Amino acid sequence: MLRGLYTATAGMMTQQHRHDTVTQNIANLNTTGYKQVESVARSFPEVMVALQNGDQGRDNRQVGKLNTGVFAEESISMMVQGDVTESNSSDDLALISDIQVANPQGGNIAFDDSGKAVQANGQTIYKPQAFFNVENPAGGIGYTRDGDMHLSSDGRLVTSMNQNVLGQDGQPIVLAGSMDDYWVRENGTIFNKATGAASGRIGITVAEQPNGLTRDGEGLFAEKTQGAGSLRAATNEDAIEVKQGFLERSTVDAAQSMVDLTAALRAYEANQKVVQFYDKSLDKAVNEVGRV
């Protein structure tokens, strides 16, 4: 009996985590460059159920497998290209990434809508993604798709979270005047409109394994384990384009998020009723059956 109580409780905890994940997505519905997060659940190890005394002379006849609960294993960011909308502001920069991966059998690998492809041998491959290089307040380099940028009072190009945007040389980009005085080419090179001289180039990093990156707060991603994201500097051969006057929208699907939120709530309530049922059964066993 207690096994069912623990199973229902584990289900409640999993649905709570799922609910929190969807709520986070909805809260960032209008956050520039935000990548939707999906909650991944995994069942506890299965156990084989068998008859205790066998059946018709057969010892321990197998009945079937039984899962003894479920838990939220992790939250995975959906690293896919978001919709790009025009903002008509010189400060805004959108990063469009469509990096292809060659298929050993010829052509390019076809990725699904989640940016994932499963090979015939079972190997999972994720579509590479590009990120702006910014200075991580915690130290080191952070990676972001937040193109909502502006020039600070001292001329530093910063994100909406006031993080320094780094150039290819790893140093903060400093410009004079306003972004209206500059135009940004597709490869991230910044040119002065008056003189035509290059004033720097925005640092862009390609993550060959974007799901190896972890969220580091304030819209940043980081490579906590070296090599997990297989990072490299972007090259002119990569299908990457920087568009000035545009912003990348969040990848959150508002309608699907509301469906997931309702489903998590209903599943939580169902598990809650199971817990209440077991509680009443135990109460009857202790206070009534035990009295006899």
Helices (H), 97-179: none
Helix (H) or strand (E) holding 50: strand 47-50
pLDDT at 130: 95
Give 279 or 264, the one with higher predicted confidence.
264
Q: Which of 46-60, 214-228, 253-267 has the lowest mean pLDDT?
A: 46-60
Looking at residues 108-127, what average pLDDT do you find?
A: 85
Split at pLDDT 50, 70, 90, the class of 59 is low
What CA–CA distance (Å, rounded) separates 132 from 203?
A: 6
**Residue 55 in this model has a pLDDT that exceeds 70:** no
**Residue 267 in this model has a pLDDT that exceeds 70:** yes
In 51-123, DSSP assigns E strands to 62-66, 70-77, 84-86, 93-97, 116-118
Looking at residues 169-191, what average pLDDT do you find?
A: 93
Q: Report how far apart, in Å, the C-alpha atoms of 268 and of each of 88, 119, 271, 278 are.
A: 45, 36, 5, 16
Where do the domains of the chain lie? 2-78+252-289, 84-248
Split at pLDDT 50, 70, 90, the class of 227 is confident
What CA–CA distance (Å, rounded) separates 265 from 262?
A: 5
Q: Residues 60-79: pLDDT tens digits? A: 566 677 777 787 877 888 88
Looking at residues 143-154, what average pLDDT do you find?
A: 93
Helix pair angle (2-27, 254-284), 10° resolution: 160
For residues 137 and 104, the answer to whether their CB atoms sit within 8 Å is no
Rounded to the nearest integer, the mean pLDDT of the chain is 87
